[in-house]
A and B are shown apart, each in its own frame.
Chain A
Amino acid sequence: MTAVLEVEALDAGYGPVPVLRDVAFSVPAGTVAAVLGANGAGKTTLLRTLSGLLRPTGGRIRYAGEDLRGVRVEHLVRRGLAHVPEGRGVVTELTVAENLRLGGLWRRDRADARRARDEVYALFPALADRRDHLGHQLSGGERQMLAIGRALIARPRLLLLDEPSLGLAPRVTAQIMALLRRLCDEQGLTVLLVEQNVRTALAVADQGIVMSLGRVVTAAPAARLRDDDRLRHAYLGF
């Protein structure tokens, strides 16, 4: 299996403050990788660096075999890299329909963008019912569905998801995780998932990448992280 995402010796930070140090891992196509770690480990910073919102100070990011250096943020989605940021993914001043339209505006294939939108409505019927509601009228769970659904309209190859379970009912979380799994298995989507909820994440993921203080302390098959008590205790605290 070829790797969709390869990260080598990545350094990044805010101004003079380094956050990520020498981060390296790779994510094979069609798999789910979960980035785990305590608050402040640099998980969100990692995603922001991968999608170009933050400029790396060193190292390399290779996506689908290409170096991402110098590629502008707004062009990444055209290459199939979609990022659902933490908590704030929905444009709250726009309606559900407008948010979804926004997700497919760049697509040349209008018919497929419409088809993708209808698929999202089918996946999340709650959104279909609230089509004309503004973003800020939605519940937390509906917002998360909208943000993920909007990313899917791009028909991405690589989906970066920041805390999708935040504020969601366990049942909805399970639903979303199952959906991700299915998209990976059936359509070859690759997912890089940042999660606080370690159990949920490891249940769906193929690979666990454990971060601490801006470094990758271990990257191992999810099954090993689930089953190896020593690793779990040392890095994940349960």
Chain B
Amino acid sequence: MERFWFLTFDGLAAGAVYAAFALALVLIWRAARVVNFAQGAMAVATAYVGYAVAGATGSYWLGLAAAVLSGLALGALVERVLMRFVGTAGPLNQVIVALGLVLLIQAVLGMVFGNGYRPAATPFDTDALTVGGVAALSPYDLWVLGAALAVVVLLALLFTRTPVGLRMRAAAFAPEVSRLLGVSVGRMLTLGWALAAGVGALAGMLVVPTGLGLHPHAMDLVFVVAFTAAVVGGLDSPVGAVVGGLLVGLILSYVTGYLGPDTTPLAVLVLLLAVLLVRPGGLFSAARARHV
């Protein structure tokens, strides 16, 4: 039973990161009908920036800020320079450009920093605290959980309570009508990409120390897991992304804990296929065939 609780807490902490990352995917999907396959690579790039700044200044918090800011900038840049010009000839083209970006970013990181693993410092202790004799969360897990949930709440407030959030939602749902009402749809799209990449950058900073460390492919698996989380919740649903992220985090934690870490990747695949074949719309949207 003790192990169960440990795995549950661990899964929730990991799931919070997946939730944030899945949320970033959903943000771009809703705004532009693109699954940003470069999200993982972009997050790794910003994590390198973050940990480089953290190393240079000795402050994790400055590094975190640098990562998020560079994420915002990178997202805006990718939309302005690339995605805007791919056109709507088909979802294939956008996916292919994003994959080209993956290759490019990972290669540039490898050339600049080398392909090896670099250590990533944490601001808090990673040893689990024991509560009532049960090993629960480490201080770092608490920080991860708190930061990810804070981002989720802030984003929810932004979208439902602020004028810019209303503009972004309107621009995503009805671009033409929004333009007639004075909304700069292009600017909202750039903002959406920037926000998503900023959230991705934060998620990257949070998840890198819990894995093996920082290397160009650090987010490959995280991306797949987050995509699975987004699909579990339904790509159109931000709430779904959060619940999906936590759910996937829990499931993977139990699988890893009870069946061994080697089976985790397989569990992701089984989960993804199961959801897509049984409930293709995700748990939070009306089931319908996924025509894009």
Contacts and interface: CB of A to CB of B under 8 A. Distances in A.
Are chains A and B touching directly in their complex (CB below 8 angstroms)?
yes
Interface in B250-274: none
A94 B163 CA distance: 13
Contacts, number: 66
DSSP class of B's interface residues: helix, strand, loop or mixed?
helix
B176 to A, nearest CB: 6
Given A91-B170, A101-B166, A51 B180 contact: yes
Contacts of A51: 180
Given A93-B169, A94-B169, A94-B173, A102 B180 contact: no
Contacts of B170: 91, 94, 98, 102
A150 B182 contact: no
A89 B176 CA distance: 9
Given A91-B174, A94-B173, A105-B166, A82 B180 contact: yes
Interface stretch (A27-35, A71-79, A193-201, A226-234): A71-79
B184 interface: yes
Interface residues of B, number: 17
Interface in B162-185: 163, 166-167, 169-170, 173-174, 176-185
A74 B179 contact: yes
Contact of A98 (B166, B180, B182): B166
Contact of A85 (B176, B182, B183, B184): B176
Nearest to B30: A93
Given A85-B176, A91-B174, A91-B177, A106 B182 contact: yes
B181 A102 contact: yes
A171 interface: no
Contacts of B177: 85, 88-91
A93 B179 CA distance: 16
A165 B183 CA distance: 26
